[in-house]
Structure 1
Amino acid sequence: MGSATSGRIGRFATATRQAAAFVFTIFMFVFLLVPGGASAQTYQFNTIQVEGNQRIESATIQTYAGIAAGQPVDVAQLNDAYQRILASGLFETVVIEPRGGTLYIEVEEYPTINRISIEGNKRLKDEDLLNVVSSQPRRVYSPATVEADAQLLAQAYNIAGRSAASVTPKIIKRSDNRVDVVFEIAEGGVSEIERLSFVGNRAFSDRRLRRVLETKQAGYLRRFIRADSFVQDRLEVDKQLLTDFYQSRGFVDFQVLSVTSEVSRERDGYFVTFNIREGQSFKIGEVTVVSDLPEVDAAAFVGANKLRTGQTYSPTRVDNSVRRLENKALQDGLNFIRVDPRITRNDRDLTLDIELALVRGPRIFVERIDIEGNTTTLDRVIRRQFKTVEGDPFNPREIRESAERIRALGFFEEAEVNTREGTASDRVIVDVDVVEQPTGSLTLGASYGIDSGLGLTLGFSESNFLGRGQFFSLQVGSGSDNVSSAFRFSEPALLGRDLALGLSAFYKETNYDNAFYDTLSLGISPDITFPISENGRLSLRYQWSREDLSNVSADSSAILKAEEGSLDRSAIGYTYSYDSRRAGLNPNAGVVLRFRQDIAGFGGDARYLRTEALAGAETKILSEEVTVRAIFEGGMINMQKGTSRATDRFFLNRMRGFSTNGLGPRDLNAANEDALGGNMFALARFEADFPLGLPEEYGITGGLFMDVGSVWSLDNVAGGPQTGCTVADCTVDDSLNLRAVIGFALFWDTPIGPLRFNFTHALKKEVYDKDRSFDLTISTTF
């Protein structure tokens, strides 16, 4: 670029155009003032001469001018011709000059773009930035387009958190009327959020509200956390998130009055302040169901309403009841029935009376559903998210819910659902416009456990397999003492219904962590899952597996030696699950129930009934700063033939404060003191999670917990009675001996996953138990 002529894009071109326009205007002004010129209102040219053009045909320029030889024209028409030629964007200068019977049009063409290059960029790649610009090589150079491209590049850096970035477009003139376009970029530093604060909040602390926002404060982990970058557009999303947060908690008058962003003194960060007005939190008052239609009995719809007096008001609760009532109307064959929620405000007691009125909706039908933008995903995957089909009565609420279901698939970067008038006034067309995104992932991971050591995992998953909305995954893992692989395939909408068909297969070979024997298991299991209530689902399955217990140490228990060998299992089972979090009606609380049974004996070598149950609940207290949780679990195996094996029994490794296989029945007379597991277990876990006062972007919180539980009962106890014996007078104690542990936990939400550090102390244990005061695990709830 050294000897080449370069300069600010458009500066010379603009000056030249202005000069040409000025000359043309002066010429016309003088022409009209000369003697005889004032009376000449029209001109007629025998010929039109075009000069200066190299690439553009003269006939094309004459077409832009719109003046034909022999056509009478006036001064205004000549000016219009000048403007049309200039507006074509092909010419840097245009001069129109009448000379007797000839009209001369002199043009100077814009050069063509030889190449486009980007300099100074390090954070963003050339290919990504070139996809943003509209200017292209071998096309006509346009100063306006290049200036617009510079703005688009600056916006791309702004989205990446570098609002201080500047883009300067320059040109380098080449031979044959060509130019190189160069975008010189000064990236600047990342514009971070130094502080997020709120004004006007009383019900919730700044710390709690920061967790709602998508924008985060900068911290020590700013090199890994990119959400602390300042992006102006993200603030609009944050405003809506705050509004949804407050309204779901009854604050119907909540407003975001303003959002201010101030630049720090060093100009490398922002201080963002949300000025809000909370208002008061309202509860639901009197709830009634009425009908404005004589043929509709309101009493028949009362049972479908789930709004209750005293509940915290939430738009989601109201929408849920409206949907229930409208669905009942459809089930009863009542079309075009709409539910209009009429709300009466009671400021004195801070309640909202809600009247659900059954009214007649407009007689509008769905003409068709048009889907665009899906290059991989099949139309039927999107269509099955609609409960409405062509010809059905049009229900705006159902269309909105269908749009949410489409977005929830996770297949699309953008999904817009709009309606427009159809071929008649009583017809609508539903337009679905989607932008697809990658749905497959290839993962290479590492894990570490105090007992299991280092492990490596390689996995592939695809949530939209072949564009059919099916799920497929394959995972292979290897550790210091185990090798495993798993396969899973799922069809979420069998026969176009809310019916999920799945197939799983597994293989695992291990030395059972701290045990003195090896196991090998493999199996296959088809299953089918379907809803039986709004929050309840039932899963039915069949499983065939082969399990082998081998290489039992000579110093191990005689019980384990007797269980050596392989056997086949053939079992059917079911799982019922209930999760109130699915509806999302209460953002502060949730209840989860699971009940599972497997019956073995339909072929194979084993016959038993295995039962497991879990009940968990959590809620937020103290202005939602603290989450308290209680989880109760239990299980038992009833053998119908023979005795249970170590691969069948429970070991209660979910109880914190103990080593793997560290509690429960144990053969103390064996040199290895092997853990044997038990046919029954019970466990209660109580937890409280709370902030530690550290910045939220660090992702570090604390918790207190207490676990109480036991595992007991064996079919065969060598050396003593089955129950009620002690260590002193029998080999194995399989009695119900409760253990209790208290502890403190540190939760760290890291880029590689949520980690949990447990520091524990056993309050009650048996002398043969193996406890542990520290553990590092992946954080889970229930």
Structure 2
Amino acid sequence: MRLILQSFQKLIHTVMLSEESVRIIALWFSLLSIDIIFLVFSSTSLQAAIVDQIYVQGNKIVDSDTILSYVNVKPGKEFSSFDTDDSLRSLFSTGLFSDVQIDRKERRLIVTVEENKTVNAIHFEGNDKVKGEFLRTLVQLKSGSVFSQEKLDIDLASLNKAMHRSGYSLASVSSNVIGLNKNLVDVIFIIKEGERTKISDITFIGNTAYSDRQLIDVISHRKSTFLSWLKHDDIYDSDKLRSDEEKLRVFYFNSGYADFKIISSSAHLDEDKNSYSITITVDEGHRYHFGIVDVDNVLQGVDVPSLLKQLPIKEGNLYSAGAVERSLIKMTESIAESGFLCAEVTPRGKRDFDNSKIDITFFVNKGPCVYIERINISGNFRTRGYVIRREFDISEGDAYNRFLVNKAKKRLESLHLFDHVTISAHEGSIPDRIVLNVDVTDKSTGDISIGGGYSTTAGPVAEVSITEKNFLGRGQYLNLSGGRGENSIQYNISFTEPYFLGYKIAVGLDLSKERLDLGEEVSYSQDVSTIQLRGNALINDKLLFGINYNYKSQEHSGEQSQFISPAILESINQSPYTASTLGYSFIYSTLDNHVLPRNGVYAQFDQSYAGIGGDSNYIRTTGRLSSYHLLSEDSDVVLLGTLGGGHIYALDNKSMRITDYFFHGHQNIRGFESRGLGPRDLVTGDALGGSIYGNFTAELHFPVPLLSKSYGLRLAFFGEAGTLYNNEYRGPLAGSIEEQSLSRSTFDHFSIRSSFGGSIIWDSSFGPLRFDFAHPIHKEEYDRTQFFRFGVSSKF
């Protein structure tokens, strides 16, 4: 201490203080030293403190043993103030207590607690439009949880935000806490919803190339109309407005406006009218076309001319940032397929302002080789991890290749199991390692479909189908369906495993049971049971090969009468009848979207041989080709053309059985009922089927004019034509000799049927819905027509 004072005194003299000042400071420092020494001895004395008993008081719900488990002081052992401080921190950290005190009285330690209240129940009042089940998921306070004012404040903020995002911008949420016995409370959230806030106007400033209506179709926000209840897209959301800005950028960048900018976007709430006015100010800039498109390559062995031919952009085409991105992906894929897994492609643009063109050069160079350290998958709360991993052609330890990663992303999206798929790359544990994070969001994969129609002769018909495309989260397909008509009933079960034994081979099983009972019209019924095994595998990304085996058993019953055709009676007399069939198929598809295609081709060819056991012996061949073409991207007008045909060839030189023939109607030519066209016994009216058919469809569909695309309503106009003929039955027919002669001379003509009509297609919140109205143009007198048919699908 003396050395400290001497040093301090020297310091004082150094700064030229008076002798009197030095004495005063030295005296103060001496007193401070005495205090420090006293505290040290006091601490030493406290360290030696010992208590014999520890008491807990003030607790009503939390038992004493639980409280004591957080106290670091133990009876009979020395403790210090540090131990009591730690005990206080531990007890407060539990969140169970609003206040805790620890006092020592002689050789006793007393822990006094004041417990936080416990929530008995949560109630919502005043929420007529927003359901309480939804609001309950947003609050932290739950029945049985510890109540605190902090949690209550957070819950109030969350509820207010949820009400505003639900479209009730003037809504308010308050709370009422009611104390009960035993430290319990009920929390009541009082909600004043008011009327739903509308969007009265959406205005664009600075747009000359596109009208306000065209730009409104691009963004998510919509003006409030009498149809807004269908989509609920007239709810203002600041986050959604930021997303709309990005949608506008993408739209303009893909339409040639490479200099497009958003100057500002704002939303004004008129509280008197309870409505928003949204204003978006843009600067469109100039419109560009592609100039010179070139490749600057430094890799040996890369075929540059071949790369240029594959690019979707050409000189003179309208500039599109999306087309540049697709070209980059296509080029990376081609180079990777050539063996250059570490190649790096970088596009660079050079503006020619005088000619409004942008020259694009793709620089191809050797990039750094990095390897995949780990693939993390998140967001798949329902879908199992291996369902996602098996879509990757690369795994941990392989060289990273963006082409293969993008390919996996497309595969995952094409499964239609997820709302979105995001794959991002991050640095690994060392510089040449990366970690792939695959983030997905499971979507509803169950569908319940209801279809129906009305026939001029059979009356109403109904069909119900329940489908699960991700059964048990394994990516398996399961379908249960049934149909009921006035004279028929049908059941079907279908199951598909897309990766049989871990290989990309889809294997499926189909079971069906159908009963056709013509009731009072004829004494005839038909029961058909079918079992089908099938498998298919991708040859490449566009071509699918399949093989199948089908076993069908048919039983007929009936009596000879004027109401049943002898041709059908012949099949009845041969009952039971079986067919054992082995077949194969090829499917080629370049469709851009399998739900509502706009571009691409779909072709299918099937051939089967019946004669591996059973009673049949024939070869059946069918084919179909559909082509979709987007006529106008701005107007979203799509032209569809479909061509189909089929033939059955008997191998045993015997007449074909009626049940082996093709039976067609609305499936091929709308305006005709099921089994409504083709060969028919004119006396009884029974359809007899044919061995040759052909059909053609031309359809144009487009959004409903003057209505926003967001409503999902489209119109279609179609024309269809086709024929079904060549029934080889030559036995007697019903009726007199004259009637048989008339029937034989007219029931099997090569007659072209045709129809035209219109459709309303609605991509509703219940699923895709279609109404078809068709009128036959060319038909035979004995054909059965059907003017109207509809189908609806709903998610569950």
1:521 and 2:531 equivalent? no
CA contact (8 A) 1:590 1:619 kept: no
CA contact (8 A) 1:170 1:182 kept: yes
Q: Specify the code of the residue in structure 1 equivalent to 2:554.
A: E
2:685 is aligned to 672
In structure 2, C-alpha distance between the alignment counterparts of 1:138 and 1:663, rounded to whole Å: 69
Q: Secondary structure at the match of 1:658?
A: coil
Q: Secondary structure at the match of 1:582?
A: coil
Q: Render the CA deviation track for 1:135-170: whole Å, top value 9, x for unaligned.
A: 356665433332111111222333433333321133
Judging changes above 3 Å, is the alpha-carbon distance between structure 1 residues 523 and 718 closer, same or farther for their aligned structure 2 residues? closer
1:341 and 2:347 equivalent? yes
CA contact (8 A) 1:512 1:519 kept: no
Which runs of structure 2 are paired with 1:295-306 in the superposition (5 Å)?
296=302, 298=304, 301=307, 305=311
1:532 is aligned to 539
Question: Which moves more between the two structures, 590-599 or 52-61?
Answer: 52-61
1:486 and 2:500 equivalent? no
1:183 and 2:189 equivalent? yes
Number of residue pairs the alignment of both structures matches? 719
Q: Secondary structure at the match of 2:158?
A: helix
CA contact (8 A) 1:598 1:609 kept: yes
1:635 and 2:630 equivalent? no
1:624 is aligned to 635
Residue 554 of structure 1, aligned match among 559, 562, 567:
562
In structure 2, C-alpha distance between the alignment counterparts of 1:538 and 1:320, rounded to whole Å: 28
Which runs of structure 2 are paired with 1:254-403 in the superposition (5 Å)?
254-263=260-269, 267-278=273-284, 282-294=288-300, 296=302, 298=304, 301=307, 305=311, 307-309=313-315, 313-347=319-353, 351-372=357-378, 374=380, 377-396=383-402, 398-399=404-405, 402-403=408-409
Q: CA deviation at 1:484?
A: 1.5
Which runs of structure 2 are paired with 1:43-122 in the superposition (5 Å)?
44=39, 54=58, 111-120=116-125, 121-122=127-128
Q: Specify the code of the residue in structure 2 equivalent to 1:739.
A: R
Q: CA deviation at 1:659?
A: 4.1
In structure 2, C-alpha distance between the alignment counterparts of 1:457 and 1:366, rounded to whole Å: 49
1:691 is aligned to 704
In structure 2, C-alpha distance between the alignment counterparts of 1:130 and 1:622, rounded to whole Å: 44
Q: CA deviation at 1:439?
A: 4.7
Q: Render the CA deviation track for 1:640-683: whole Å, top value 9, x for unaligned.
A: 33334443224243313334444333343x25375644522232
Q: Specify the code of the residue in structure 1 equivalent to 2:677.
A: L
Judging changes above 3 Å, is the alpha-carbon distance between structure 1 residues 463 and 666 closer, same or farther for their aligned structure 2 residues? closer
Judging changes above 3 Å, is the alpha-carbon distance between structure 1 residues 539 and 263 closer, same or farther for their aligned structure 2 residues? farther
1:712 is aligned to 725
Question: Which moves more between the two structures, 352-361 or 148-157?
Answer: 352-361
Q: Specify the code of the residue in structure 2 equivalent to 1:535.
A: K
CA contact (8 A) 1:556 1:674 kept: no
Q: Specify the code of the residue in structure 2 equivalent to 1:476.
A: G
Which runs of structure 2 are paired with 1:232-243 in the superposition (5 Å)?
232-243=238-249
1:9 is aligned to none
Q: Secondary structure at the match of 1:387?
A: coil
Unaligned stretches of 5+ residues in structure 1: 1-35, 72-77, 96-105, 721-725
Residue 655 of structure 1, aligned match among 666, 669, 680:
669
Q: Secondary structure at the match of 1:149?
A: helix
CA contact (8 A) 2:592 2:600 kept: no
Residue 447 of structure 1, aligned match among 435, 449, 452:
452
Q: Render the CA deviation track for 1:592-624: whole Å, top value 9, x for unaligned.
A: 333333332333223123222223323233831
1:541 and 2:542 equivalent? no
> Whose Rg is larger?
2
Q: CA deviation at 1:189?
A: 3.0
In structure 2, C-alpha distance between the alignment counterparts of 1:682 and 1:571, rounded to whole Å: 25
CA contact (8 A) 2:451 2:791 kept: no
1:463 is aligned to 469
Q: Render the CA deviation track for 1:246-265: whole Å, top value 9, x for unaligned.
A: 54555544455544334456
Q: Render the CA deviation track for 1:29-78: whole Å, top value 9, x for unaligned.
A: xxxxxxx99x97989577999xx995698998999xxxx9899xxxxxx9
Q: Secondary structure at the match of 2:745?
A: coil
Q: CA deviation at 1:730?
A: 5.3
Judging changes above 3 Å, is the alpha-carbon distance between structure 1 residues 404 and 682 closer, same or farther for their aligned structure 2 residues? closer
1:615 is aligned to 626
What percentage of aligned pairs have identical amino acids?
26
Judging changes above 3 Å, is the alpha-carbon distance between structure 1 residues 446 and 718 closer, same or farther for their aligned structure 2 residues? closer
1:431 and 2:444 equivalent? no
Question: Which moves more between the two structures, 635-644 or 120-129?
Answer: 120-129
Q: Secondary structure at the match of 2:478?
A: strand
Q: CA deviation at 1:366?
A: 0.9
Judging changes above 3 Å, is the alpha-carbon distance between structure 1 residues 282 and 402 closer, same or farther for their aligned structure 2 residues? farther
1:775 and 2:788 equivalent? yes
Q: Specify the code of the residue in structure 2 equivalent to 1:555.
A: F
In structure 2, C-alpha distance between the alignment counterparts of 1:539 and 1:249, rounded to whole Å: 41
Q: CA deviation at 1:368?
A: 1.9
Residue 571 of structure 1, aligned match among 563, 581, 600:
581
Q: Specify the code of the residue in structure 2 equivalent to 1:532.
A: I
2:610 is aligned to 600
Structure (1 or 2) with the greater helix fraction: 2
Q: Render the CA deviation track for 1:189-226: whole Å, top value 9, x for unaligned.
A: 33344555655555555555555544455444555543
Q: Specify the code of the residue in structure 2 equivalent to 1:775.
A: F
Judging changes above 3 Å, is the alpha-carbon distance between structure 1 residues 667 and 347 closer, same or farther for their aligned structure 2 residues? farther
Judging changes above 3 Å, is the alpha-carbon distance between structure 1 residues 392 and 547 closer, same or farther for their aligned structure 2 residues? same
Judging changes above 3 Å, is the alpha-carbon distance between structure 1 residues 758 and 457 closer, same or farther for their aligned structure 2 residues? closer
In structure 2, C-alpha distance between the alignment counterparts of 1:320 and 1:477, rounded to whole Å: 45
Judging changes above 3 Å, is the alpha-carbon distance between structure 1 residues 87 and 307 closer, same or farther for their aligned structure 2 residues? same
> What's the TM-score once normalised by structure 1's chain length?
0.76
Q: Secondary structure at the match of 1:656?
A: coil
In structure 2, C-alpha distance between the alignment counterparts of 1:581 and 1:507, rounded to whole Å: 33
Q: Render the CA deviation track for 1:369-398: whole Å, top value 9, x for unaligned.
A: 233565654332221232221111223454
CA contact (8 A) 2:663 2:678 kept: no
CA contact (8 A) 2:624 2:642 kept: no
Unaligned stretches of 5+ residues in structure 2: 1-27, 50-55, 74-78, 102-110, 734-739
Q: Secondary structure at the match of 1:539?
A: strand
> What's the TM-score once normalised by structure 2's chain length?
0.75
Q: CA deviation at 1:292?
A: 1.9
Q: Specify the code of the residue in structure 2 equivalent to 1:742.
A: F
2:694 is aligned to 681
Q: Specify the code of the residue in structure 2 equivalent to 1:118.
A: H
In structure 1, C-alpha distance between the alignment counterparts of 2:320 and 2:534, rounded to whole Å: 37
In structure 2, C-alpha distance between the alignment counterparts of 1:467 and 1:623, rounded to whole Å: 39
In structure 2, C-alpha distance between the alignment counterparts of 1:348 and 1:587, rounded to whole Å: 39
